[in-house]
Structure 1
Amino acid sequence: MNGGLTPPAPLRAPSDLAAPLSTGTVPLVPQALTDGLMPARKLAQGPRTSVREPADGSPPVCVAPYDTEIVRLPERPRGIVVSGGVTGFHVDLDELEVLGTTLRRLTARLDGTGVHGGVAATDVRALEERLGHALAAAVALVVASGATFEVVAARAALAARAADVVEALELLGRGITRAADEAGRLADGLDGARETYARAEEEARPPEDDGVWRRLAMAFAPVAGVTSLVRAGGVVADIREDGAERTDIATPALDMVTDLRTPLYLVESAVGAGLGRAPKPLNRAGTADLLTEVAHYGLVEPATFVWAHRFRDRLPTPEMSPHPAPEGARRAGTTTQALRTLDAINARSAEGAVGVQRTVRPDGSSSWVVYIPGSEGRPNPAKKGFFVADHARTWGSNTGVLMRRNEQAIRAVERAMRNAGVKDGEKVVFVGHSQGGAIGALLAARRGSGGLVTVGAPTGGIDLPKEVEAVHIEVKGDEVHELDGRENPATLTRTTVTVRPDEAAGTPHAPVDKMHSSVNGVRAAEALEGSAVTAALDDVLGDVGGRPSGPLEEALASPVEVYVPEPTTR
C-alpha cells in the first residue's frame, strides 16, 4: 500500500430536498393494503397536512389538505340548470375510489421506504463502527511494518464515506417523507371529492316514482281514483296560474294513468300474457310505453291504413333530392351555430327537409353534420297529412319513433344521408328538434361515433355509446321531451340543459311563448356559449364541421345542403 486514500466528495441532494420538513399525522391505512410492504406499526388516523420550514429561514408554512381546495362549478346563467357529464367535471366515482386506494398504497410504500432508510442509516453507522474497531486493532499489528499511516488514512476515509452515506440516506428519507405526505394529502382530497360528488348525485337524483306502500294503497280502486283527481286538480290550478303553455302536463298525466293502472295490473298482465307480450312496469316509464303502443296499434296504424291502404312499415321511403340551404343555414363549428342552422331549416325549408353538411379531410375521408327538424304537416288527426303525407315526418310518425320501429321518418333521414354520400364508419353529428332529435338519437346510437344535439326531444330511453358527445336542451313546461316518461341518463358524455322560464324571465335566453319552439335551443346555447357545457361538443363539431377562418377557406368549404322529399303519387 502506498500513499493515503483521498475521501470521495460528499453526496449532494437537490436544494428542495435539503430543506427541513416535518409532517403532521399520517392517515390510517388498511392492513390489507400494506402487508409485505412495510414493517407493522400503528398509524395515527386523521387528515394529512404539511408544515414546511422554507430553506430561506422564513416562517413555516402550513399547507391545507386538498379537500378544502376543491374547485366548485361556475355560476350558470339565471334560469338554466345543467346536469350530466359535460359540466366541466367528468367524475367517475369508481375511478376516484380506485385512485384513492392506489394513493393510499403509495403512501404506505413510501412510509415503509422511509422506515427502511432509517434502518439502513443505523446499519451504516454500526458497520462503520465495527470496521473502525477492526482497523484500530490492525494498527497494533502493523506498527512493526511501518504501514501505520496507511491504516490511519483508511480509517479516516471510511469514516468520511460512512458520514456521506448517512447524510444521503437522511436527505433521501426527508424527500420520501415529503412525497408520502403529499400522496396522503391527495388521497384525503380524493376521498373528500368522492363524498361530495356522491352526495350531489344523490341529491340530484329524481325522487322515486313509486314506493311499495304507495303502490299497495293504489291497489284499491277508490284510493287510485281519488289520488288521480287530486293530481288533476293540481294541474288545473297550475294552468290557471301559469297558462297551459307553461304548465307541465305530461308528467302528471303519466302519474295519473299509472295510479289508475295499479288496481287493474293483474288484468293487464293477464291480457299481455295472452297476447305474448311482457307486462309494462308499473311506473311512469312503463305507462309511457303502454300508452305509446296503445296509440300506435289502436289509432295510428288503423288510420294510416284508411288513408294509404297499407300499414306504416309498408309506407314507401320518400326519395330525397338536394336543394340549396335557406338563408341562415350556415356551416356549424359550434353548438350555437348548429342550432341556428337547424332553426333556419325548420322555419324556411319545405316539409320533411333534412340538412346535411359535409367536411372533406386532408386524407380524403369525410365527416358530417345532419340537421333533422321535428314533426311537420297538419296537426289535425282528421286531415290527411297527420298520418300520411308526401314527406315522412308526420305527426303520426311519433309513436313509431318512440317504439324504435323502422319508421318511415327514420328511413327518410337515412336515405338523405346515403344520397349525400355518408358512409358507414364516418363521424356524424346529429342535430334535431322534437321528433327529429329522437331520430338523431336513434341513428347516433346505431353509428356509435360523433355527437348529438337535441331540443325538446324524448330521448331518455335511448342509450348512447360513450363515444357520442350529447347535449339535450329542454324547457320546463314543454311536454314533448317528457312523453317517454324518462330522465336523460347523466353519463360522462351526456348533458341535459333545462331552461326554467319563470327564473329566466327578463334575460336574453328566456324562452319564447311556445315552449316547444326550436328557437329556445338557440337561446340556451347562446347563453352557454364558450362554457364547459358546450366545450366538449364544440370540439366535436369543430373537428367534424370545421371552422373556416378566412374568405378563401369559407369559399372552399362545402355549403349546407337540404334534402327535400319529392312528391309521390298514390
Structure 2
Amino acid sequence: MTGLPATPATPAADEDPAATLIVSGGGTTLVATDVLLAEASWLRALQADAEGWQARLAGIRALDSAPAPSPAWTGGEAAGCVFGVGRAIDRVAEHSRHLADSLIAAAEGYGEAERRSERVARAGGVWLGFTLGRLAPFLALAALPALTSGAAGFLLGSLLTGARPGDGPATAAGWLRANPRALTDPVVVAAVRVLVSSVDDAAVGAAGLPYPVSALLGDEGLGLLGVATSAAGVRALSRPLGLFRETPVSVVPVPVVPVPVVPLGGPGVAGQRPATRATPPPAGFADLADRIPSVSEDGSQVRIERYGSAESPSWVVYIGGTVEWSPVAAEQPWDLTSDLSAVADQDSGSYRAVVQAMREAGVRPADPVIPVGHSQGGLVAAQVAASGEFNTVAVATFGAPDGQITLPPGVDAVTVEHSDDLIPALGGTPGAEDDRLLVRREVFAGREVPPDQPLPAHALTAYRATGRLMDESPEPRLQEFRATMATVVGAEPGQASRWRGIRVAGE
C-alpha cells in the first residue's frame, strides 16, 4: 500500500501568535494559516490514498473466478474481512473528504472576507483621496493659524525650559520613542497602504476633475493612474530642487583582486575580477534571507552565486536594502532616489547596478536565475523577474514594496511581508493578480515593541527569523518552492561573489 503522508507537526504558533504564518495567493483564493492549509493537504492525500485502496480491493474481488451472479465473496471469513476493510476504507475516505472540504471552505470564506474588506478600503481610499485633494486649499488655510501658533508655543516652551529640539515627547522622534507601536501596528500599516494608493486620487481632486474621472483612471478602473504615476510626479516636481535625480552607475567586485587584462592589439592593463569563494547551495528560505547583504555604507549590496557547470550554470542573486536616506543622490545608489525611481518604474540606479553586476558576473539571458531581495532589494528583485531580461525561474522577496509589480506567468514567486512592517505598504495595494504566494506574520503580536528602533518589524534579522519559520512549516507550496530551488541550484557547492554599486557623474 502507498504510505500515508506524514502528519504535519503543530509548530510553536499555537503558543506564540508571532510565529503564526498566514499564507494566501499562489493562484488560489485561500487565506489561512500554514498549518491549516497543510492539514487540508494531508487530508486530501489521505482521501486519495483511501480511494486508491478501494481500487485495489476491487482488483482483489475481480480475482474471483466464480461466475456471476454467485461470487465466492458472498460469505465466509475472508469475505467478511474484505467487506469490513472496504467499509472502513469508505469511512476513512468520506471523513477525510468532509474534513478537507470544511477546512478549504473556511479558508475560502476567510479569503473572501479579506478581499471584500480590501475592496471597501480601496474604494474608501479613492473617495477620501479625491475629497482631500478637492479640499486641500481650504484645509491648508484653516491649518495655517494653528500650525503657526503651535510652532511659536513650542519654541517659547523650549526657551523657557531649556529643552533641545531633539529631546522629549514634543518632537516627532520623542513621540515615537514614547509610542513605539505607532508605526508598528497592522491597522496603521493597512491604512498607509490605502493612503499611498490614493495619492493619485488626491491629485485628480486637486486638479478640479470630477470624482468619476478619478475612479475611472485609478487602480480600481483603467489603472492609468496609481502608485507609479504618483512617484513619477514626485520625481518631476523635485528635480528643479536637485532632489531624487538619477545618475549613471557602475559596479565593482568586492573585494577587488587585480589581474592582468590584455585587450586585442594593445598592451596589458590592470583589470579587476571578483574574488569568489565556495558556498553550499541554499537549502531554504532561512538561507536565502541570511545571504542577503546587510545594510552597510561601504560594503557590498549584491551577492551573486553560480552553480552548475561553466557550460550550463544557474544563479542566485541576493540584493540588499536601502542604505542612504538622503533625498539628494550621492555615491550610494541604494538610496531614496533609487527607492522613488523603482516605485515609479523608471530604471532606478540600484536596478541598473544589479543588472550590470549580473552581466559582469557572467549571467547570460538563458541561464536560470533566482533573484532574492529585502526592502528595496526585494523591489529590484521583482523588477528583474518582471523585466524579461533574464530567465527568472523563481523569485523571493522579503519586506519589499513590490505590490504593484506584475510577475510573468510561470515564475515561482514567494513574497514575505510582516503585517506590522510599514515599508511594504509604501508600494500601495497590490495591482494585477498573479500567482505569487504571499506569506505574512505579525512580528510583535503579543510582544513589546523596542522603543529605540523606528521600524523593528522591517529589520532583516526579523525576516531571517520568518525564513526559519517558513522552513519549519508543513505548508505544501512552501515545500514546493524549496524543491524548485533545489532543482535549480543542485546539490554541489557553488561560487559566490560580491558587488558594490557606485553612482558616477550626474545626468
TM-score when normalising by structure 2: 0.61
Match of 2:101 among 186, 191, 199: 191
Alignment of 1:2-41 (within 5 A): none
In structure 2, the residue corresponding to 1:291 is in which secondary structure?
Answer: helix
Q: Which residue is 1:441 aligned to? A: 382
Alignment of 1:157-306 (within 5 A): 184-185=94-95, 187-202=97-112, 205=115, 207-208=117-118, 210=120, 239=176, 241-242=179-180, 246=184, 251-253=190-192, 255=194, 258=198, 261=201, 265=205, 269=209, 279-281=217-219, 288-289=227-228, 291-299=230-238, 301-303=239-241
Q: Deviations over 1:153-198 (max 9, x none)?
A: xxxxxxxxx6859779x88998887776665555444433432332
Q: Deviations over 1:508-561 (max 9, x none)?
A: xx996642332322233345543336644444444445566xxxxxxxx44421
Distance 1:488 1:474, change over 3 A: farther
Match of 1:339 among 269, 279, 289: 289
Q: Deviations over 1:236-295 (max 9, x none)?
A: 999553365535756435656849957964956579989xx9722469x97644532321
Percent of aligned positions with the same letter in both sequences? 15
Paired with 2:335 and 2:126, the residues of 1 have a C-alpha distance of 41
Paired with 2:452 and 2:277, the residues of 1 have a C-alpha distance of 20
Structure 1 residue 427: Cα displacement = 2.4
Task: Answer yes or no: is 1:366 the counterpart of 2:313.
Answer: yes
In structure 2, the residue corresponding to 1:397 is in which secondary structure?
Answer: helix
Paired with 2:277 and 2:424, the residues of 1 have a C-alpha distance of 26
For these two proteins, the number of residue pairs brought into alignment is 424
Structure 1 residue 419: Cα displacement = 1.0
Alignment of 1:308-457 (within 5 A): 312=246, 315-321=247-253, 323=255, 331=280, 333-334=282-283, 335-344=285-294, 346-347=295-296, 349-350=298-299, 353-361=301-309, 364-377=311-324, 379-381=325-327, 383-385=328-330, 389=331, 391-445=332-386, 446=388, 447=390, 449-457=392-400
In structure 2, the residue corresponding to 1:396 is in which secondary structure?
Answer: helix
Report which of the two structures shows the higher radius of gyration computed on alpha carbons.
1
8 Å Cα contact 1:331-1:338 kept in structure 2: no
8 Å Cα contact 2:304-2:317 kept in structure 1: yes
Partner amino acid, structure 1, of 2:466: A
Structure 1 residue 404: Cα displacement = 2.6
Distance 1:217 1:442, change over 3 A: closer
Distance 1:223 1:189, change over 3 A: same
Task: Name which of structure 1's ranges 210-219 and 415-424 shifts more when overlaid on structure 2.
Answer: 210-219
8 Å Cα contact 2:375-2:398 kept in structure 1: yes
The RMSD of aligned alpha carbons is 5.8
In structure 2, the residue corresponding to 1:532 is in which secondary structure?
Answer: coil
Distance 1:375 1:262, change over 3 A: closer
8 Å Cα contact 2:422-2:455 kept in structure 1: no
8 Å Cα contact 1:428-1:451 kept in structure 2: yes
Identify, as 1 or 2, the structure richer in strand: 2
Structure 1 residue 481: Cα displacement = 0.8
Structure 1 residue 307: Cα displacement = 9.1
Q: Which residue is 1:480 aligned to? A: 423
In structure 1, the residue corresponding to 2:377 is in which secondary structure?
Answer: helix
Partner amino acid, structure 1, of 2:352: R
In structure 1, the residue corresponding to 2:472 is in which secondary structure?
Answer: coil
Distance 1:204 1:356, change over 3 A: same
Q: Deviations over 1:9-33 (max 9, x none)?
A: xxxxxxxxxxxxxxxxxxxxxxxxx
In structure 2, the residue corresponding to 1:368 is in which secondary structure?
Answer: strand
Paired with 2:236 and 2:462, the residues of 1 have a C-alpha distance of 33
Paired with 1:227 and 1:209, the residues of 2 have a C-alpha distance of 28
Q: Which residue is 2:439 aligned to? A: 496
Distance 1:212 1:182, change over 3 A: closer
8 Å Cα contact 1:224-1:263 kept in structure 2: no
Task: Name which of structure 1's ranges 426-435 and 484-493 shifts more when overlaid on structure 2.
Answer: 484-493
Distance 1:214 1:499, change over 3 A: closer
Partner amino acid, structure 1, of 2:236: Y
Paired with 1:384 and 1:220, the residues of 2 have a C-alpha distance of 34
Alignment of 1:465-476 (within 5 A): 465-474=409-418, 476=420
8 Å Cα contact 1:78-1:504 kept in structure 2: no
Match of 1:565 among 479, 501, 505: 501
Q: Deviations over 1:447-492 (max 9, x none)?
A: 564433323211222233454142414361x321101222599987
Distance 1:208 1:164, change over 3 A: closer
TM-score when normalising by structure 1: 0.56
Q: Which residue is 1:83 aligned to? A: 22
8 Å Cα contact 2:17-2:446 kept in structure 1: yes
Partner amino acid, structure 2, of 1:355: R
Larger RCO of the pair (alpha carbons < 8 Å, separation 6+):
2
Distance 1:394 1:431, change over 3 A: same
Distance 1:198 1:567, change over 3 A: closer
Alignment of 1:21-100 (within 5 A): 74-76=11-13, 77-84=16-23, 87=34
In structure 2, the residue corresponding to 1:374 is in which secondary structure?
Answer: coil
Paired with 1:193 and 1:403, the residues of 2 have a C-alpha distance of 40
Paired with 2:189 and 2:101, the residues of 1 have a C-alpha distance of 40
Paired with 1:272 and 1:294, the residues of 2 have a C-alpha distance of 21
Structure 2 unaligned spans of 5+: 1-6, 27-33, 143-171, 257-273
Distance 1:412 1:72, change over 3 A: same
Match of 1:532 among 465, 474, 478: 474
Paired with 1:327 and 1:348, the residues of 2 have a C-alpha distance of 21
